[in-house]
Amino acid sequence: MTLLRPPSPGPHLIVALLTPFTADGEVDTASLRRLVAYLQAGGVDEFFVVGSTGEAPLLDESDRLTIIETVRSAAPAGTIYAGVSGTGHRHAIRNSHAAAQAGADVAVVMSPFFVALDQPQLIDFCTAIADASPVPLAVYHHLRMPTPFAVPTVAQLANHPNIVALKDTNGGDQNRCAEILVATAGTPLKFFQGVEKLVLPTLAAGGHGCVVAQGNIAPHLFRGVLDAWQAGDAARAAEYQRQIDALWGIFLRPEVKQSFAHFLHTMKLPLQRRGVIATTAGALPRADIAPEFEQMIDDYLQQHLDPTLTLQTS
């Protein structure tokens, strides 16, 4: 399977899957299957697993493979993008082979953890992985990493026959998408927006879709904005984006910014409330969350997520 044509007509909607855990810290495959079914009911058939939202840096190899295999079993016709980042290019290459064997269609790699590279070194790093990966490679730009993917670097990587997409989580730069699209014109590289509030601006600039964490709790909003844009209904697309913007605001709350565990809790708690996942546990051995924080999440979502649009599980 390639990324040259979406599994369904129109822009790509890829959800960056959370990883459900049991109370004793094991990957909760039953909850993961329910999450996939929940997203499929919301119009999702592309899944990014073992990414930052999926707690990839905290997972061991067996956990990664369990997640990929479970999602492949739950969505046999879906497209699976699997994070393969590790401590270096050799680790990422090993992960790409293992991910392909477990059922992944596309490997996704970030710039190296901890160490900073210059841009020629980043190109060499990604090229080595792309040359050895048994499946197409997507690169993942995130401001949290030591080395950003500069626009000229993306343009050069776009000419590699096995590099097919960029997930771009740039914080809020609305111009970056257009700059990359101009720089990669004539190549098959797909531009996927990773910032929820920039989904509609990305479509307007000619981008190819989004990879979004909040799709876990509101897939209908992202499906709505993409479908409305594809149908030429700009006003309806803008209304969906307005709702996405309101929901995205929870990421700006100081309570959410205090730790990665608190960020994850903003999405796991609503899913637990709906019966999609069994617990809000994460990969960290212990993460105490105050009742006041949970109340903030409940109140915020009640205010900013239209309950008539919220999907229910059976």
What amino acid positions are annotated as catalytic residues? Answer: 140, 167
Looking at the domain assignment, is residue 248 inside a domain?
no
Residue 259: how many other CB atoms lie within 10 Å: 13
pLDDT in tens, the chain (314 residues): 445 455 556 799 999 999 999 999 999 999 999 999 999 999 999 999 999 999 999 999 999 999 999 999 999 999 999 999 988 999 999 999 999 999 999 999 999 988 999 999 999 999 999 999 999 999 999 988 999 999 999 999 999 999 999 999 987 777 899 999 999 999 999 999 999 999 999 999 999 999 999 999 999 999 999 999 999 999 999 999 999 999 999 999 998 998 999 999 999 999 999 999 999 999 998 888 999 999 999 999 999 886 544 444 43
Look-up of token digits 């299957």: 33
The CATH number of residue 177's host domain is 3.20.20.70
Q: What does the pLDDT read at residue 143?
A: 87
Rg (CA), the chain: 18
> Cβ distance 11 to 226 under 8 Å?
yes
Q: Which domain holds residue 125?
A: 12-243
Distances from the Cα of 247 to the Cα of 135, 234, 250, 265, 305, angstroms = 34, 20, 6, 15, 7
Strand partners for 190: 165
Query: How far apart (Å, rounded) are the C-alpha atoms in residues 283 and 281?
Result: 7
DSSP 8-state class, residue 191: E
- The sign one gets for the Cα dihedral 32, 36, 41, 47 is positive
Residue 193 sits at the vertex; the CA angle it makes with 191 and 196, to the nearest 5 degrees, is: 165
Q: What does the pLDDT read at residue 285?
A: 86
Q: What does the pLDDT read at residue 6?
A: 55
Query: How far apart (Å, rounded) are the C-alpha atoms in residues 105 and 85?
Result: 15
Query: How far apart (Å, rounded) are the C-alpha atoms in residues 300 and 296?
Result: 6
Tell me how far the alpha carbon of residue 32 is from its chain's centroid. 15
- Whose CA is closest to 126, among 142, 141, 111, 104? 111
Looking at the domain assignment, is residue 208 inside a domain?
yes
Looking at the domain assignment, is residue 310 inside a domain?
no
Provide the token pair at 191: 């531009």
Q: Label residue 142 left, alpha or beta by phi (over 0 means left) and psi (-120 to 50 means alpha).
A: beta
Provide the token pair at 229: 């844009």
Query: How far apart (Å, rounded) are the C-alpha atoms in residues 105 and 269?
Result: 30
DSSP SS3 for 304: helix
- Whose CA is closest to 17, among 3, 30, 36? 36
Query: How far apart (Å, rounded) are the C-alpha atoms in residues 117 and 284?
Result: 29
Looking at the domain assignment, is residue 6 inside a domain?
no
- Whose CA is closest to 293, among 263, 248, 249? 263
Write out pLDDT tens, residues 128-167. 999 999 999 999 999 889 999 999 999 999 999 999 999 9
Number of independent structural domains in the chain: 1
Query: How far apart (Å, rounded) are the C-alpha atoms in residues 158 and 155?
Result: 5
Instruction: Find the Cα–Cα–Cα–Cα dihedral 4, 40, 56, 189, rounded to 10°.
Output: 10
Query: How far apart (Å, rounded) are the C-alpha atoms in residues 174 and 260?
Result: 25
Residue 208: how many other CB atoms lie within 10 Å: 20
